[in-house]
């Protein structure tokens, strides 16, 4: 029986993971009573008793949790931003290839990717690797997310009575261009320059749409939109990340299409001159909790799951 401890299991990401794992016969969940869920001694015991500890905490608490672990066998899956570019940590996006799945399987420290970063990296990394996009490319990313991406605090804000009417419309944020996902976007794609990043939070619970425009002039060696499609087609064959042709809904792309699922759909729109790369998924699916469950399944050797459709 594999013992799993979710540190932060009352939070948005942790709760979704807990609900997913409760029905699994081969796992035992270590739980702490409500009054001691933030007590460092109780957490230390639970973390060191676990075969797998899943950290669903703010960054500082995740760093503290790692420092509490002395059991050399405890495998850590950290959903926070704290360790995504840290040495000794595997990046938990197995579909990127280049031995990443094996690195996750064999590592005792796995960083679960950031929600916005996941879409950007899925779109850009294979193109840089295939020599279609230069590492010197200057890119931009627009990422629409549901409000659960902001955790309990933002959920309460969006779901409160008498909330500001400004929340009725999508809101852009991270305007000074220092968003916490930028370092992993650069590190995992091999780009030499940070992208210009516009995250936008909307009045829906969960779901994501990430788009990255690319001009024909950005492509190397005369590559075309068809070459991009071929790269995605051969890289993303499911069950979690898949390349989809004609994925739009009669000319529209809803950020809600994969809400509730762990899957990510990668698509290409536009024309020969102006190409639009798009990824759709759920910020709590492939963007957080689902990605953590995917990594858990890899480290314990279980079959992949694709989540539960909610919409
Ligand atoms: N929501 C999302 O879509 C995504 C979230 N993440 C990351 O996952 C992590 C968790 O985020 P999220 O679930 O949204 O956040 P929430 O605020 O919803 O949950 C965080 C949980 O951690 C608890 N907590 C805080 N400090 C401690 C501590 N010292 N010891 C034990 N528990 C503590 C909080 O307690 P309390 O309930 O008392 O506040 C809360 O239950 C963050 O690092 C976030 O950036 C990553 C990708 C996407
Ligand atoms: C809507 C909203 O505020 N979303 C959060 C993303 C949460 C997240 O993914 O944080 P991690 O870095 O821990 O992965 C944000 O953009 O900061």
For residue 276, the domain's CATH number is 3.30.360.10
Ligand 1 contact, 119 CB (< 6 A): no
Q: Rounded to whole angstroms, what are the CA distances from 286 to 74, 194, 263?
A: 24, 23, 6
Atom 23 in ligand 1: which residue has the minimum CA distance?
8
Domains in the chain, number:
2
Residues 76 and 98 in one domain: yes
Ligand 1 mean position, distance from CA 21 (Å): 18
Q: If pLDDT is split at 50, 70 and 90, which confidence band does 125 have?
A: very high
Active site residues: 115
Buried (b) or exposed (e) across 176-196, using 16+ Cβ within 10 A? eeebebbebbbebbebeeebe
Residues 144 and 239 in one domain: yes
Ligand 1 contact, 10 CB (< 6 A): yes
Inside any domain, residue 305: no
Buried (b) or exposed (e) across 249-268, using 16+ Cβ within 10 A? eeeebebbbbbbbbbbbbbb
Residues 87 and 120 in one domain: no
**Position in ligand 2 atom list of the atom nearest CA 146:** 1
Residues 80 and 206 in one domain: no
Residues 212 and 162 in one domain: yes
Kindly state the percentage of the chain with pLDDT values over 90.
Answer: 95
Determine the pLDDT at residue 307.
66
What pTM did the predictor assign? 0.96
* Mean pLDDT across 79-93: 98
Q: If pLDDT is split at 50, 70 and 90, which confidence band does 304 have?
A: confident
Residues 141 and 249 in one domain: yes
Determine the pLDDT at residue 80.
98
Inside any domain, residue 137: yes
Contact 127, 133 (CB under 8 A): yes
| Tens-digit pLDDT profile for residues 50-63 | 999 999 999 999 99
Inside any domain, residue 13: yes
| Tens-digit pLDDT profile for residues 30-78 | 999 999 999 999 999 999 999 999 999 999 999 999 999 999 999 999 9
Determine the pLDDT at residue 305.
78
Determine the pLDDT at residue 310.
45
Inside any domain, residue 307: no
Considering only CA atoms, give the Rg of the chain.
Answer: 19
Question: What SS3 class is residue 219?
Answer: strand
Residues 121 and 270 in one domain: yes
Identify which of 77, 115, 295 to mutate to test ligand 2's pocket (most ligand atoms within 8 A of the CB). 115
* Mean pLDDT across 108-132: 98
Residues 129 and 245 in one domain: yes
For residue 15, the domain's CATH number is 3.40.50.720
CA atoms within 13 A on the CB side of 215: 6
Residues 274 and 136 in one domain: yes
Inside any domain, residue 71: yes
Rounded CA-CA distance 199/45 in Å is 38
* Domain span including residue 232: 115-281
pLDDT exceeds 90 at position 311: no
Determine the pLDDT at residue 98.
85
Phi, psi of 210 (to 5 degrees): -110, 130
Phi-psi region of 130 (alpha: psi -120 to 50; beta: other; left: phi over 0): alpha
Q: How many helices (H) does the chain have, and how many strands (E)?
A: 9, 13
Residues 95 and 148 in one domain: no
**ipTM value:** 0.94
Rounded CA-CA distance 52/191 in Å is 33
Inside any domain, residue 309: no
Inside any domain, residue 146: yes
CA dihedral in degrees (185, 64, 146, 213; nearest 10)?
A: 0
Residues 223 and 124 in one domain: yes
**Position in ligand 2 atom list of the atom nearest CA 174:** 16
- Would you state the structure tokens that stand for residue 189, as one six-digit string? 């794609």
Residues 90 and 181 in one domain: no
Residue with tokens 């605090």: 153
> Average pLDDT, whole number, for the chain?
96
Determine the pLDDT at residue 308.
58
Inside any domain, residue 306: no
């Amino acid at each position: 029986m594999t013992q799993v401890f979710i540190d932060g299991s009352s939070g948005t990401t942790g709760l979704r993971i807990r609900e997913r794992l409760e029905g699994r016969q081969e796992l035992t969940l270590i739980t702490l009573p409500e009054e001691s869920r933030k007590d460092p001694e109780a957490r230390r015991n639970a973390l060191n008793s676990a075969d797998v500890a899943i950290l669903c905490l703010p960054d500082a608490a995740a760093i503290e949790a790692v420092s509490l672990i002395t059991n050399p066998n405890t495998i850590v899956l950290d959903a926070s931003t704290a360790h995504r570019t840290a040495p000794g940590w595997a990046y938990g996006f197995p579909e990127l290839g280049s031995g990443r799945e094996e690195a996750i399987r064999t590592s005792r420290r796995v960083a679960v990717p950031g929600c916005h970063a996941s879409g950007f990296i899925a779109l850009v990394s294979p193109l840089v690797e295939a020599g279609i996009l230069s590492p010197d490319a200057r890119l931009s990313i627009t990422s629409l997310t549901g409000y659960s991406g902001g955790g309990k605090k933002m959920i309460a804000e969006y779901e409160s009575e008498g909330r500001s009417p400004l929340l009725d419309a999508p809101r852009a944020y991270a305007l000074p261009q220092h968003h916490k996902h930028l370092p992993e976007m650069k590190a995992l794609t091999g780009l030499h320059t940070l992208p210009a990043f516009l995250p936008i939070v909307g009045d829906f619970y969960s779901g994501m749409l990430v788009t990255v425009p690319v001009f024909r002039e950005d492509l190397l060696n005369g590559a075309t939109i068809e070459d991009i499609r071929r790269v995605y087609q051969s890289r993303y064959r499911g069950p979690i990340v898949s390349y989809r042709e004609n994925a739009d809904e009669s000319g529209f792309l809803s950020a809600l299409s994969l809400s509730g699922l762990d899957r990510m759909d990668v698509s290409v729109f536009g024309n020969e001159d102006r190409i639009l790369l798009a990824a759709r998924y759920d910020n709590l699916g492939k963007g957080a909790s689902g990605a953590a469950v995917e990594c858990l399944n890899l480290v314990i050797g279980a079959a992949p799951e694709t989540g539960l459709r909610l919409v």
